[in-house]
Amino acid sequence: MESHWYFKPKYGEDLISKVMNCFADGYLGWGDSGHCWNIERMADHYDGWLHMYVYPDGNTDYYTETCFHDEPISGRELTEHMLVLLTGENGCAHEHDSEDPENNDWNLEEVDISDVLRCLSAKGTHIYSPCGAKLWMCSVDTGNVKLADMFDFILTQKVA
C-alpha cells in the first residue's frame, strides 16, 4: 500500500516532523510493519506545501492509517514530540476519561492520519490525497470530505 498526502502546514517543518514521527511510527507502527515514509517540501512555487508519503519496504503484513491505541499520550510525547498540538478545542486527540474532571490525559484512539494532518495544516487550505483514479480532498476549516474523479480533470486538459 502506497499513500500520498499534500498539505500546507501552519507550523514549521521541524514541528511537523516531530509530530508525524511520533504518530506514524509510535501510534500507527509504520516502521515496525515494514513501511517507510517521508515528508518533503514541494517546489518553491507551491508556497510551502508539503508532500507526505508512505510505501512498503519489502514484506509487509500490516498497514493502517488509524490509531487503535487507547493509552494516554505520555508527557514526553506531549512536549518532546509536540503532540500537544493535537490536543484542546481544535485538536484531534480525545480526552482520555471525559467523566473525570480531574483528568488531564489525552489519547489518540480512532484518530486517522488525515485528522492529524488537518490539525497541522493552515486554515483556509485543503488536504489532498490521490486514491487510484479518485482524488480525496478535505477542507481544513470544516473537515468536509469530497472524492473527485481525476479522469474527468485529465480529459479537460489539452496540449497546445
SS3 string, the chain, reads CCEEEEECECCCHHHHHHHHHHHHHHHCCCCCCCEEEEEEECCHHHCCCEEEEEEECCCCCCCCCECCCCCCCCHHHHHCCCHHHHCCCCCCCEECCCCCCCCCCEECCCCEHHHHHHHHECCCCEEEEEECCEEEEEECCCCCEEEEEHHHHHHHCCCC
What integer is the mean pLDDT of 76-98? 89
Overall number of domains in the chain: 1
What integer is the mean pLDDT of 52-75? 90
Confidence at residue 147, expressed as pLDDT on a 0 to 100 scale: 94
Q: Does 112 score more than 90 pLDDT?
A: yes
The pTM of the full predicted model, rounded to 2 decimals, is 0.90
What integer is the mean pLDDT of 83-107? 84
Domain of residue 54 covers: 3-156
Q: Does 4 score more than 90 pLDDT?
A: yes
Confidence of residue 115 (pLDDT cuts 50, 70, 90): very high
Confidence at residue 151, expressed as pLDDT on a 0 to 100 scale: 86
Confidence at residue 160, expressed as pLDDT on a 0 to 100 scale: 72
